[in-house]
Amino acid sequence: MDVSGAFSAEERAAVYQCIQSRRDVRGEFLPDPVPDAVLARILTAAHHAPSVGFMQPWDFIVVQDRAVRAEVHAAFRDANAEAAARFDDERAARYRALKLAGILDAPLGICVTCDRDRAGPVVLGRTHQPDMDLYSTVCAVQNLWLAARAEGVGVGWVSIIDPSRLRSILGIPDAIVPVAYLCVGYASLFRTTPELEEKGWARRRTLAELVSFEGWRRQPEDEPLIGMLRAEASKTRP
**Per residue in 137-159, pLDDT tens?**
999 999 999 999 999 999 999 99
For the chain, where are the alpha helices, taking DSSP H only? 9-21, 36-47, 66-84, 89-96, 132-150, 163-170, 195-198, 224-234
Confidence bin at 237 (pLDDT 50/70/90): low
Q: CB-based contacts of 156: which residues, under 8 Å, 6+ apart?
A: 24, 25, 26, 29, 101, 102, 106, 182, 183
Chain mean pLDDT for the chain: 92
For 181-208, the pLDDT digits (tens) are 999 999 998 888 888 887 888 888 888 8
Domain covering 22-203, topology: NADH Oxidase (3.40.109)
* Pair 163, 178: CB distance under 8 Å: yes
Asked whether residue 227 carries a pLDDT value surpassing 80, the answer given is yes
Asked whether residue 232 carries a pLDDT value surpassing 50, the answer given is yes
Asked whether residue 235 carries a pLDDT value surpassing 80, the answer given is no
More confident residue, 117 or 238: 117
Q: What is the pLDDT of residue 14?
A: 95
Q: What is the pLDDT of residue 1?
A: 53
Rounded Cα distance, 111 and 113, in Å: 6
- This prediction has a pTM of 0.90
Q: What is the pLDDT of residue 201?
A: 86
Q: What is the pLDDT of residue 3?
A: 62
Confidence bin at 51 (pLDDT 50/70/90): very high
161 — phi, psi (to 5°)? -160, 145
What residues does CATH 3.40.109.10 cover in the chain?
Answer: 22-203
Q: What is the pLDDT of residue 238?
A: 45
* Partner residues linked to 29 by β-bridges: 187
Mean pLDDT of 63-87: 95
